[in-house]
Amino acid sequence: MKDDTTYGLSPERLARLLAIGLQGRDGENNPYAGRTPAEIVREMLASKLPLDPDASDSLPAILNRACKDLLALSHRTISDLLLHPNTDLAVIKTLKDYGKELVRLRRRETEQAAATVIYYAAIGSALVFHGQKITDHSYPKLRKAYAKLEESPWIPDELKDLFRKARTVCREEEGRRE
């Protein structure tokens, strides 16, 4: 059955749409060059979904409709979407895949670290606010990743709180499976 808001597109395909506009950032004009992971992650979280309304007109009809649906969310920051309990699960899945795509596209370690935070924040958001695991990673692996992220001094406090809650969910799920 086709999803009304994504027209049957998978979160992976939507994430690739979002990442299209980021492919040019690894060149000379990279806005993240010389920045710390803390600065990069704050900027990524404060950014809005990278959708260009004009670019959606050049997409095939089915992609155009999905892009226009995402444009409705373009006034909200990535942080808002990840930390709000009522964000639609499909949007969270898209943000997870967007983070994964950012990790893949980034060459610099600092940018990969910041993109990894977006990825794990989306997984944590789904766990905490929707009770859904949207990754193939095991609960023990997720719990360890969240513990490590919580220890990072450059992670914003609101994400540390999300990671702490996600780690608790993972621990509870581990206990249920023993």
Could you read off the pLDDT of 84-112 as tens digits, one per residue? 999 888 889 888 988 888 888 877 888 88
Beta carbons within 8 Å of 72's beta carbon, 6+ residues apart: none
Q: Are 79 and 46 in contact (CB under 8 A)?
A: yes
Q: 48: pLDDT confidence band, cut at 50, 70 and 90?
A: confident
Neighbours of 167 (CB within 10 A): 22
Global pTM reads 0.74
